[in-house]
Structure formats: structure tokens, C-alpha cells
Structure 1
Amino acid sequence: MTQSVPSTLRRVMTLGLTLAVFGGAGAAVYAGFAVISAQGDAGAVSRAPASIVAAMQIDIADSYTVTRRFTGQIEAATQIDLAFEFGGRVTEVLVDEGDVIAQGTVLARLDTSALMPQRAALEADLEALAADAALARLTLARNDTLADRGFRSVAAQDDARLALTRAEAGMAATLARIAGVDVQIDKSALIAPFDARIGARRADAGQTVAAGQSVLMLFDAAPARARIGLPPALAADLQTGDSVMVEIGGSTHAATIRQIRPDLDPGTRSRSVILDLPAGLDTVMGDTLALVLAQVVPEPGFWAPLSALREGARGSWSVMALQTTPDGDRTLPAAVEVIHSDGTQVYLRGLLPAGARIVAQAPDRIAPGQIVQLAANPQE
């Protein structure tokens, strides 16, 4: 009995302490709620300022223009490998790589020392045949005189006449052989067929070359040309004489279409377009250039900056349109389809009407349905 009294007292004290703790916690919660309510009432009085956005008004177009570049190569109007028609030893090469030469300039020569004795021998043969022909004429004349007097037979006259014919034929053959030697001597010198610049030099003095072996490469001094492969459909829209723009070394120049080949390149399945480049242009043969073509694509849509796009789920795109309300401009997402991009702007197709306004920059920072304030200088 004596031990039960303290136990009961402990239970009463524990219960009282628990009630005191819960009472204090409730008072603290009530006080905190009162403070939060007071702060909420104060915030309701002053709203947060609306976000400032840059907006633009869209303009619906019937088509858009695509600028396409096609790479080609600069080439000479005429490029040839110059060679001797006959083989022999090269005695001198009178030009070097990069030289500018005029038409008719002697470029190189072959050794003709073996041809000169041959020509001299033929000339000696010609003189001997000429003497035979002279003797045959005299014999024929004497035979004709004696035959008129009855001292010569007809057979003797025929022999004299045939001897003259053989001598004259031999002279003609010898003259032809002399002419052949002269041609070979003439062709032992390489002559420039047109005004040109020397490209590669493939032989030097003292070297023996075969007939037809390349000695010098010549580039025509006329204005250079360019050869560019284009898709057949695009080449069909061009015509000979059209003016086009080309980019060479970072600068743009006007060129003229000289020819459009009627066949396809079997490797690239493209049509070659040959351009006449402007005169006075400092070009390097074999260098690359770009043909710049503007192609109009008939497709309704509107242009917008790349910064106006919002990426959605599964590769979809949208813009943030602006709707006028009594409370201000409210944002609404509008689905669009990207048709073309030039790196800074995109051509879009969507259901937005002409004159509609969209957020031009950082639409991801704006939530749908948010009231926004337009910047002082909105994009038009």
C-alpha cells in the first residue's frame, strides 16, 4: 500500500507534463499561423511585377528564299600538254614555270644535227637527178632532129622520152623527201599556240624525249572558267548567258554561264555548269569556289528568330503567342512546324493568323497563361 502511492503520483506528474508540452506546441503553431496570415495579407496588397518580354508581330508570306552554295573548281579556258611530234634530245628549254608567253614564242628545241646531213644528201641526189633530166632532154631533142631526117628510130625516141620522165619523177620524190626533212626540222622547235602561262615543266636540256612525251603544260592566258556540278533539277532552271554570283577567297563576283552540259556525271549524278569568270580576276588554277544560288520555295509561313522557339515533347516545337486580356497580355503556347533555318532565323508554319504577336526571346522563361509586360522597343 505504501508503494502504490508514489507510483500513482508519478503517473499524475507524467500526465501533467505531457499536457503541458502539447499545450505549448499548440500555442506555438497558433502564433506561427497568425504571423504567416499577417504576411500573406501584406503581400496581397502589393503584387509582384509582370515579366518584361520582347515581342514581335508575324507576317505571313507565300514563299521563302533559300540560299544554296555549290562548290566547284577553277580551270583555264584551255589547258594543254605540249610535246614534240618527233623524238630526240632536247637542246634547250627557253621558258620556266609561271612565265607568261605570247603566241608564236619558241619554247624549246630538239637537236637537229642528224637532220642536216640527211638534207644535204638529198640535195645532192636532187642535183644528180636534175643533170640526168637535162641530159635526157638533150638526147630527146637530138633524137627528134635525127628522126625527122630519118636517121633515128622511134624506139630511140621512146627511150630518151622515158629517161626524161624517170629523171623528173626522181626529182619530185627527192624534193618531197627534202620537204619532209624540213618539216621535221621545223617541228623540232616547240611554238606557243596561244598567249599562255607556263604550268609544269617536264623536261630539261640534254634529256631525250619520245614522240608525244609532254614537255610543258600551258594554261590559256584568257579569263579563267569554273566548272560546278549541280543537281539536274536545279541546272534545268538555268540558261546559257545567265549572270550568277560566285564566292572566291571570301569575296563575291559576278560570273556568266557559258555552257550547261547535257549529260550527267556518272560518279556524282550531277550536270556540269561552265562559268566565265570576270577578266582581271587573280585566280589560281585548281582552286575552289562556290556558286551562290537563291531558290524560291512556294510555302506559306512566317519568319521568326531562332530564340522564339520552345522545344516540346517528341521533337515538337511551339512559340509563345500573346493574347490581349483586360488584365494585360497573356501568354498562350502555339504549335508550329520548322520548315527552314538559316542559323539565326527560322521559317515556320502554324495556325497563327497574320498580325499575331509572339514572344521573340527566351519563351522558356515564361509560363503559359502568365501575364507579361512588353518591352519598350518590341521587335516588329
Structure 2
Amino acid sequence: MTQSVTSTLRRVMTLGLTLAVFGGAGATVYAGFALIAAQGDAGAVAVAPVSTVEVLQIEIADSYRVTRRFTGQIEAAARIDLGFELGGRVTEMLVDEGDIVAKGVPLARLDTSALVPQRAALEAELAALVADAELAQLTLSRADALLESGFRSVAAQDDARLALARAQAGIAAAHARIAGVDVQIAKSVLTAPFAARIGARLADPGQTVAAGQNLLVLFDAGPAQARVGLPPDLAARLRVGQSVTLEIGGATHQARIRQIRPDLDPGTRSRSVVVTLPAGLGPVLGDTVALVLAQVVPEPGFWAPLSALREGARGSWSVMALDPVPDGARIVSAAVEVIHADGAQVYLRGQLPAGARIVAQAPDRVAPGQIVQLAAGPQG
């Protein structure tokens, strides 16, 4: 009996507790609805403002212009490594690096002290041979006279004639040896083959040099030239004498094409174009130069600011086109292909017709399907 009463009390307590929990929950829900209703009566919920975008009206073009720069190097019109044809001791170096010299000006001299007595000995030998020739001539004249009188034999006349011939041959040989010494003396003076600027001096007075050893590096003092490698198809469009634009040290200059080489550089597979620089420019030899060429590429498309692009999946690109609606314009994503980029501008190809409008600045808060307002001001 006692056990039954206890079990009944437990069921009554459980039921009461359950009813209390459900009652509390209901009161909480009712209070929440009351609070929301009170706030709704106090004021309306704020609506997000419509985004305003800048608009660009596209213009379809048949082609686009590309400015290409090709790097080259400034060089002299002529450059030679100059040295003596004969070896010897250098007695004078008459120029220094950076000097400008005229054609034929002496640049250096070799020691010729050994050649002076050699030439004097040859002159003395020549004088003796001249005397022998004179004696042989007199002997031959007397032999001819005696032969006519019958007092001299033919053999004696032949001996006199051959002695004269030997003396004359000796004179010719002596003249040749003297001329050879004179050539050696002349070649002991190094002269400028053209008007030049001294680039490097590789020897000093007192130094013994070998035949052909480089002593000086000479650059042509005339207008310098630039050598630029171009792709073969682009070089084929140029012609000798054509005016081109060069950039040197940040400044732009006009120059003319001097020569276009007919062969390809085996290392770069390019054709060398030689351009004569304007006179008085005074560039630094070996400095870099840029040849600027404008090329028109026949490709339909339109220009747009780089900020109008949005990157999609797998490297694809798109712009945000505008579809007019009563409340403004709806954003529509339009796929495009980037043909060329030039700084902050890109040349695009897509299915957009001429006169279509796109968002010039594509902020992240703007998405396809969104209604936007157009910014006031000129568009296009």
C-alpha cells in the first residue's frame, strides 16, 4: 500500500514539473513577439542603398596599335685595335685615352737607333757600287774603241760590258735595301688611319712590344651608331634611310636606318639593324638604346580600363555589362578575351555590340543580377 502511494506522488510531481517548463517557454515566446511588435511599431527596418557605378560605352575598333621597344647597343661607326707591324721598344706614346686625333696624326714611335747606321752603311755601299759602275762604263768605252782599231779582242769587250751590268745590278739592290730600311723607319711611327677618338692605351714608353701587339684602341670620331636586333618579319618591313625613333637616356631622338643585315644572328635568331645617331648627340659608346616601333595589328575589339576586368575560373575574364531596367540598370556578366594590355588599358574581344555599356570600375560589392544606379557625368 505504501509503495503504491509513493509511485502516485512521483507521477504527480513529474507532470507538474513538465507543465511548469512548458509554461515558462510559452511565456518567453510571447514576450519575444511582444518585443518585436513594439520595435516594429517604433520604426521601419532600414533598406540597403543602391550602389552607384561609373559607366563606359564601348567603341568597336578594327585594329589596335602596339608600341614595341627593342634594346640595342651604341657603338662607333668603326673600331680598330692598332699596333706596330714591327717589334721593338716604344720611345713615345703621343696620345692618351679620350683624345681626339685627325687622320694621319702620329700616335706612337718605336726606337729606330739600330736602323740609322744600317741605312748609312747601305748608302756607303751604294756609293761604292756607283763608282764601280762608272769605272765599268769607262772600261767598256775604251774596249769598244780598241776593238774598232783592232787592238782589243771581243772577249775583253764582253768582260767590260758584264762588269758594267754587275755594277748596275748592285746599285739596284742597294737602292732596294735602302728602301726597305726606309719602310722600317716609316713603320716605326704609328699614325691614325682616320679621324678617331682614343679608347684605350695599352702600352707606355720604354715598353718592348711584339709585331702586331695591340697598343691603342681607336673609335671613329664621326657620328655613332646603334645596333638593334629585330625579329625577321619586323625587320623585313623596314628600309634603309627610313626615320625611326630611339630612346637614349630617357630622351627621344629621331635617327635613320643605315643598314639592315641580310643574315640572322645564330644566337638570337634576329636581324641586326644599324641606325646612325644624330650628329652632336655625344652618346656613351656601349650604352643601351631602345628602338621604338609602332605596329598596327588588325584585330576587332574595344579598349577598356584594366579596372573593368574581373577574373573568373580557369583564367577566364569578364566585364560587367549593363541591362537597362526601370529602376536603373541590372548587372550582367559578359565574357571577354584579353588581346593586348598597355599599362592601365586593355584591348578586349567579346560578344558585346558597339554602344554597349559596361562598368568602368568593378567594385567587389557589385555582382551579376544586382540593380545599380549610373554615376552622373559624361559616359563613354
Q: Answer yes or no: same fold by TM over 0.5.
A: yes
Hey, what's the Cα distance between the residues in 2 that align with 1:228 and 1:236?
14
Q: Is the 8 A contact 2:264 2:270 kept in 1?
A: yes
2:318 equivalent in structure 1: 318
- Segments of 5+ residues of structure 2 without an aligned counterpart are none
1:60 equivalent in structure 2: 60
* 1:315-346 Cα distance to aligned partner (Å, 9 max, x none): 11100011212221221111101111123111
Aligned match for 1:25, one of 23, 28, 42: 28
Hey, what's the Cα distance between the residues in 2 that align with 1:223 and 1:177?
43
One-letter identity of the residue aligned with 1:354: A
Matched ranges for 1:282-321 at <5 A = 282-321=282-321
Shift of 1:19: 4.4
Matched ranges for 1:1-380 at <5 A = 10=13, 13-35=16-38, 38=41, 42-43=44-45, 47-380=47-380
Once the two structures are overlaid, the 10-residue window that deviates more, 13-22 or 211-220, is 13-22
Hey, what's the Cα distance between the residues in 1 that align with 2:275 and 2:379?
42
Q: Is the 8 A contact 1:307 1:361 kept in 2?
A: yes
Hey, what's the Cα distance between the residues in 2 that align with 1:18 and 1:183?
130
Hey, what's the Cα distance between the residues in 1 that align with 2:181 and 2:15?
146
* 1:226-268 Cα distance to aligned partner (Å, 9 max, x none): 1111111111111111111111111111121111111111111
Secondary structure at the counterpart of residue 42 of structure 1: coil
Aligned-residue Cα RMSD (Å) equals 2.0
Q: Is the 8 A contact 1:309 1:363 kept in 2?
A: no
Shift of 1:11: 5.1
Aligned positions, number: 377
One-letter identity of the residue aligned with 1:42: A
TM-score, structure 2 normalization: 0.94
Shift of 1:139: 1.0
Q: Is the 8 A contact 1:248 1:289 kept in 2?
A: yes
Shift of 1:30: 2.5
One-letter identity of the residue aligned with 1:130: V
Shift of 1:292: 1.2
Q: Is the 8 A contact 2:328 2:374 kept in 1?
A: no
Once the two structures are overlaid, the 10-residue window that deviates more, 331-340 or 368-377, is 368-377
Hey, what's the Cα distance between the residues in 1 that align with 2:28 and 2:176?
135
C-alpha distance 9-141 of structure 1, shift in aligned 2 (>3 A): closer
Shift of 1:175: 0.5
Hey, what's the Cα distance between the residues in 1 that align with 2:279 and 2:191?
26
C-alpha distance 379-101 of structure 1, shift in aligned 2 (>3 A): farther
One-letter identity of the residue aligned with 2:210: A
Secondary structure at the counterpart of residue 218 of structure 2: strand
One-letter identity of the residue aligned with 2:326: P
One-letter identity of the residue aligned with 1:356: A
* 1:274-300 Cα distance to aligned partner (Å, 9 max, x none): 111111112111111111111211111
Shift of 1:197: 0.7
Q: Is the 8 A contact 1:125 1:174 kept in 2?
A: yes
C-alpha distance 131-11 of structure 1, shift in aligned 2 (>3 A): closer
One-letter identity of the residue aligned with 1:372: V
Q: Is the 8 A contact 1:310 1:363 kept in 2?
A: no
* 1:163-183 Cα distance to aligned partner (Å, 9 max, x none): 111111110111011011111
Shift of 1:47: 4.9
TM-score, structure 1 normalization: 0.94
One-letter identity of the residue aligned with 1:300: P
One-letter identity of the residue aligned with 1:17: A
Hey, what's the Cα distance between the residues in 1 that align with 2:9 and 2:150?
196
Once the two structures are aligned, what percentage of the paired residues are identical? 70
Hey, what's the Cα distance between the residues in 2 that align with 1:321 and 1:35?
44
C-alpha distance 108-204 of structure 1, shift in aligned 2 (>3 A): same
* 1:81-130 Cα distance to aligned partner (Å, 9 max, x none): 11111111100101111111111211100000000111011101100010
Hey, what's the Cα distance between the residues in 2 that align with 1:274 and 1:149?
83
